[in-house]
């Protein structure tokens, strides 16, 4: 077995307008990692920040040889920034975490301890905590309930993108290029030996969450449509049931007409037109969602572009070949 000091831990941190958090995170991370017997590096992935984040990271990188930056060409979104960092990282394991100190750096010690026990993935579960806003807690638990009900995955409540992945898993993940990347679902799907660790989240150090309601809804839809075709099966069954009902209703209407008992029902007519009209639109919308995924995926575009980086990784060369 490799000696600990020869093993390297890559910490991957997506950054979007976090100028006021980077320094504090860096200090805490350094104090945790310098206390562990491993080589380590911090890879900050700047996801098109519009504030001073990138220049702060670059200054840190000049002063400290553990710090690297990857500048993406624009804002691609949290999941893609993470993907970029994980793809490039060349540590023996990588730990992904947020830049706002909600994921407490001291938990890294427990992540690494589990890794040493031989686990491939060490993921974390956020314990119910009053530090989070009520709306965030509610929407988050609703998200997991719906996702689990609709898909074959069973994601645990509060599993965020704070986890350790070993080299094997990282290599496996660098081959995944689906256009709508949803790491926490993919991790569960991927298998390997996984173990969970519970932690209580801290409050955001400063700044606001980058996920507004619109982003959360699109994140949830992405999770559901990436891991489940149940909505499609549901509308197909519903269509089938309605068709069977119509098989009874149509003869009924015909017979009523023939025996001259025609109803003057404007109301019932309107109700059925409105109801079935909107139901059809909804179903078409759901089908459209899936088709749009096919269209995007069929273009096979890269998930991100790197504008500049000071990180030299064998993985980069491999990708460019
Ligand atoms: N983030 C990113 N790109 C984005 C949005 C967010 O790289 O488009 C980063 C952000 O800087 C943070 C992490 O993703 O490090 C999680 O975001 P945030 O803390 O806003 O999400 P929340 O914790 O509120 O779910
Ligand atoms: Mg956060």
User: Could you report the per-residue pLDDT of 245-280, keeping only the tens digit for each?
Assistant: 888 888 888 888 788 766 677 777 877 887 888 788
pLDDT of residue 104: 92
Instruction: Return the ligand number nearest the Cα of 133.
Output: 1
275 contacts: CB under 8 Å, gap ≥ 6: none
- Pick 201 or 40 by higher pLDDT: 40
Confidence tier at 321 by pLDDT (50, 70, 90): very low
Residue 319, pLDDT > 50, answer no
Candidate of 11, 12, 13, 14 to mutate for ligand 1, largest count of ligand atoms within 8 Å of Cβ: 14
Using the mean position of ligand 1's atoms as its centre, give its distance from the Cα of residue 218 in Å: 14
Alpha carbons 192 and 195: distance in angstroms, whole number: 10
Alpha carbons 199 and 213: distance in angstroms, whole number: 25
Ligand 1 atom nearest to CA at 13: 15
- Mean pLDDT of the residues in the chain: 85
Alpha carbons 153 and 137: distance in angstroms, whole number: 21
Helix and strand numbers (H, E) in the chain are 11, 8
Ligand 1 atom nearest to CA at 17: 11
Q: What pLDDT, in 10s, does the model give residues 168-181?
A: 999 999 888 888 78
Residues with CB under 6 Å of ligand 1 are 14-16, 18, 47, 75, 77-78, 81, 98-100, 102, 209-211
Instruction: Return the ligand number nearest the Cα of 139.
Output: 1
Rg (CA), the chain: 25
Using the mean position of ligand 2's atoms as its centre, give its distance from the Cα of residue 183 in Å: 16
């Amino acid at each position: 077995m490799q000696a600990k000091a020869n093993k390297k831990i890559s910490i991957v941190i997506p950054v979007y307008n976090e100028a006021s958090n980077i320094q504090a995170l860096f200090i805490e991370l350094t104090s945790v990692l310098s206390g562990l017997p491993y080589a380590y590096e911090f890879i900050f992935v700047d996801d098109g920040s519009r504030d001073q984040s990138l220049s702060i990271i670059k200054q840190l990188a000049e002063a400290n040889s553990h710090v690297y930056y990857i500048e993406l060409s624009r804002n691609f979104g949290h999941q893609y920034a993470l993907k970029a960092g994980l793809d490039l990282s060349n540590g023996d394991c990588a730990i992904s975490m947020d830049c706002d100190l909600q994921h407490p750096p001291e938990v890294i010690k427990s992540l690494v301890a589990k890794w040493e026990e031989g686990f491939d993935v060490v993921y974390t579960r956020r314990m119910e905590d009053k530090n989070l806003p009520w709306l965030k807690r509610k929407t988050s638990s609703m998200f997991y309930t719906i996702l689990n009900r609709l898909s074959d995955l069973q994601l645990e409540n509060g599993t965020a993108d704070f986890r350790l992945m070993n080299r094997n898993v990282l290599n496996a993940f660098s081959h995944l290029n689906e256009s709508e990347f949803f790491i926490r679902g993919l991790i569960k799907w991927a298998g390997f030996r996984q173990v969970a660790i519970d932690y209580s989240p801290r409050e955001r150090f400063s700044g606001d969450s980058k996920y507004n309601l619109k982003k959360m809804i699109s994140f949830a839809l992405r999770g559901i449509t990436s891991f489940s075709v149940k909505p499609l099966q549901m509308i197909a069954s519903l269509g089938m049931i309605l068709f069977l009902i119509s098989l009874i209703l149509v003869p009924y209407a015909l017979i009523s007409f023939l025996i001259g008992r025609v109803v003057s029902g404007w109301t019932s007519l309107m109700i059925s037109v409105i109801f079935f009209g909107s139901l059809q639109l909804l179903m078409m919308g759901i089908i459209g969602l899936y088709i749009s995924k096919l269209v995007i995926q069929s273009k096979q575009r890269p998930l991100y572009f790197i504008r500049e980086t000071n990180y030299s990784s064998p993985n980069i060369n491999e990708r460019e070949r």
